[in-house]
Every structure is written in structure tokens, then in C-alpha cells.
Amino acid sequence: MPDSNDKNNPNFLEVGMNAWLQAAHERIQDLDAQPGVDHIGVVDRIGDGVATVTGLPKVRLDELLIFEGSVPGLAVALEKDSVACMLLDACEGVSAGSRVIASGEVLKVPVCESLLGRVIDPLGRPLDGEPAPHAHQFEPAERDAPGILDRELVTEPLLTGITVVDAMIPLGRGQRELIVGDRKSGKTAIAIDTIINQKGGDVISVYCAVGQNAASVNKVLDAVRRFGDPDQCIFVVANADDAPGLQWLAPYAACSMAEFFMAQGKHALLIVDDLTKHAAVHRQVSLLMRNPPGREAYPGDVFYIHSRLLERAAKMSDANGGGSLTALPIAETQAGNISAYIPTNLISITDGQIYLEPKLFNEGQKPAVNVGKSVSRVGGATQSAPMRQTAESLKLDYAQFLELEVFSRFGAMVDERTQRAINHGQRIRAVLRQNQYLPLSLPHQVALILALSEGVLDRLEFDEVPEFKSRMSAWLEQACRGILDRVAQGQKLSREDKAAMGAALRNLADVIVEDRKLANGQIGESVD
């Protein structure tokens, strides 16, 4: 009788096959299989971060594509038989003939409070060495701007802590203000001081670096960490050596992250550094896609890519939460040519511009703001009541001084009245000069402007004005604490408050004059 365990026995083979079928049947029953369809295309050609893909007839604009090696891409142009897309990562391993999978969804970026304090790329991947942020919400990088009926008038001030801006070029929450100037003229410094000034406030800052080198970005990060509150900031970085598609995506991704807070009824500040480099990346990508070039080889839609971005900045109505998104884009000029193609495009889109002049920068006037060429089209509607009250004639006085200063340089004799106007204008210039990373609070700015309008600084020597500025804060904290609190709340100065603060400022000036006389040995001399 044959053994049932003998492998040559036919019964043994039948028992083994039945056991295998039973196990396979149990595994199949445990599977939760769902039918699905994958849209798979093929790379036709690729180069410099731009690829043309065929075989994806149902792809939508801005859809996320996945190339071999899990390289993400963005569909940006739909042709009859092909799709042009930008790769959002290094394209090693992707070549002609590589497979491409359409995700079926538009590109979305993470938007959540866990991004605060983090340094990330436009796709939300960490760049600060920390674990990936836990994102529970994603929104499209490209979104429609709020409609007219969803918006409210821009009336709340956004304080930068920079006296020349807050006094003469006031910004409002929901405004779009361009910062424009030559390279190394202090554009980023103004943006960073604005971020630092939001420390302890209710504004969340999103800084977006486009095409910057790593050293410049690290300098910004160090400044905010030392002087500001990085936990109120998100840093979105696409360096110069990143893929062109990632640099192109950066401002839109950063704007979506800022819009998340606006939708919650909060206030957000978006800084894009800078849109000139973003335009250059767009030109590069468009030429690689063989789009027809226009003026200065830029494609015809270069205006549209920035207008659809900046139009997303808004002050929302109370029915829509009452939040705001303020945009401070940065643009670079060449040799002070503010009428170049990209700067003029951005000036026409935004609500004003802060123009930084290299000549003033080289003369040591920092921030080097040219008040004559700078403007805020929202204007005094956003300025706080005490600042508007004290700085009403400041811009006119400063403009008159600049004209008189040019006239006096020719060596012409000036009368006493003209000389007083020139001396007063020099003190205005000294007040507007401000060190980086040291933004001033609203009460101290108002006190400085009041000292100018009351003629307190005219009693001092020109080189004594910096000493007055350095001693003023502590002096007023002791003499006018209640008045400073009311100014910080935006209350208009009453006649009594104005008189009391003016008296305290004059007392400080008298102390500085006495110290000078004591140092010069003039105390005790008889005066007939």
C-alpha cells in the first residue's frame, strides 16, 4: 500500500494543490480591491526642467504629474497632442521615453498652522532639518482672487516700524505695495524690518524667496530669529539652484499659505523677494516651451502671471471673516531705471511703490527711500489718527527742503528764513535715518514727528539729533507713559496730551543742550 506522504503519490499532489488553493482563496477574500484607471503618458522630449509629454489627452491645466523616480511636474500648457509641463525637482533619471502618470488633481500645497516657524520649499518639504510638518489641509497653489463684493475698504494701518514709511508712505492691511530699487539698495531690509515689527502683534508673515542664493536667505532667517518672532512666520524658499518650476511655483504656494490665515479672519503679510527673478524664470520656461517672445524676450502673459498673484491680496468684508492679506512684492531695477518693463508692470498692478535710490544709500541715508518717487495710493485712509495728526505737513516740508538744498549747493546767498528751512529739513532727514533691525513703535514715531513739528530739534545742533533719538524712548516712558499708551491704541492726541508731550521733549532737548555746554566749559559764564 503506497504511503500518503510519498511525493510520487498522486493523492499527495492533489492534497497540496487543494491546500494552496484554499490559502489563496482566503487571501483574495481579505483584499479590498477597487477598480481604477491610470492615465499614463510618455515623455517626448525634456531639457532644462521642462518636458513635453504625449499620451495624456485628459490632463487639466495645473494638474500634478508624476514622472519616473517620483519626480513631480506641473502641467502648464495644453496642446492638441501634447502637454508642456515644468518639473518641480531635479530631473535626473527622467529622459525621453520615460513614463508619466497623471494624478487627476490640480497641484495643492499644505496650508496649516503647523507650518509656522518652519523653513519649507513650495511643496511643503522641510529645509530646516526638522521632520516634515504635519499638514492636515491642502489648497491649490493657484486660486481665484476674491471678488469685489467679498472685499472691504483698506482702512487699518500696517505699521512697518520705519518712520519714513509710516509717516509719509503709510501702508494698510490688504494693500499691495511694491518695494523697488537697484541691487543692494536695502529692499530686503525694509521687508525684514516690517516682519520684525510684527513681533507681539496679530500679523502672520510669509516670506517667499525666489531665486536667491543660500547666503542671502540665511541672513534673513538669522535676522528674524534674533530680532523678530519666527513662530509667527513661514519661510518658503526656492533657491537659485532649485528647479525652474519650483522657483516659478514659489510665490503662488506662499500666497496660498497666507490666504489660509486670511480665511480664518486673521491678518497675513506676504513678502515675495523678488518678482524680477520670478519673471526671468517665467521667460526661461516659456522660451524652452517655444512660446513666442515679446518685449525683452518676455512672453505676452508676463503681466498676467503677476497680476493674478497680487490680486489675491485683499481686506475681506466682515461677512467673509474680516481677515486681510497684505502683499509687499520686491522688484529690482537696473541703474535706477524705474521705467523698465517688469517694474512698470508691477507699479501698474500694485497700490503704490516704495522707491529706494542708490544715491541716497551711498550717502548713508538709510533707508534710502526717495520720498518724491514713492507713493501709497491708499494714503492717509490707513494712517493711524495720532500719526496723521502730527505728520500732516511733514512730506511737504521735506519736499521744500530738497528743492532749497539743491538751490543752496550752487553757493547762492540765502536769507535767514531760507536757512531756517534748510536747517529744519536737515533735522527731518536725521529723524528719517534709521538703523536696520530696530523698528520704532508708533508712540515713539509720533513723538519724533511731534518734536520736528514743534521745533524742538531746531534747538539742537545737527550732530545732537541722534543722541536725542537714542534717549527719547526712556525719557518718555517716565514722563508720558499714559500718553504713549493712548497713542499705541490709535487715539488722537488731545490738546493737553500734545502739550504735555511737547513739554517733555523740550525738557529733554534742554538737558542735551546743558550737557553740551558743560562739556564745552560754558556753564557758569555770565550772560549780559
Which residues have C-beta within 8 Å of that of residue 364, sequence separation ≥ 6? 433
d(CA 112, CA 263): 12
The three cell numbers locating residue 70: 517620483
CB 190 within 8 A of CB 354: yes
| In 409-480, alpha helices (H) | 416-432, 442-453, 465-479
Which of 377, 420, 471, 481 is labelled catalytic? 377
d(CA 398, CA 33): 75
d(CA 392, CA 170): 12
Long-range CB contact pairs, 402-408, < 8 A, 24+: 402/372
Q: Is residue 251 reached through a cis peptide bond, with omega within 30 degrees of 0 on the bond before it?
A: no
Residue 182 C-beta-side C-alpha neighbours within 13 Å? 14
CB 151 within 8 A of CB 317: yes
CA distances to 58, 236, 375, 426 from 71, rounded to whole Å, are 20, 20, 44, 58
Which residue is it, cell 526642467?
Answer: 49
Residues facing residue 356 across a β-bridge? 181, 369
Amino acid identity for residue 503 in this structure: A
d(CA 292, CA 302): 12
Q: Name the burial class of residue 121, with classes exposed (0-12), middle (13-18) and buried (19+) by CB atoms within 10 angstroms of its CB.
A: buried
The three cell numbers locating residue 406: 539743491
d(CA 96, CA 67): 11
**143 catalytic residue (yes or no):** no
Residues identified as active-site: 377
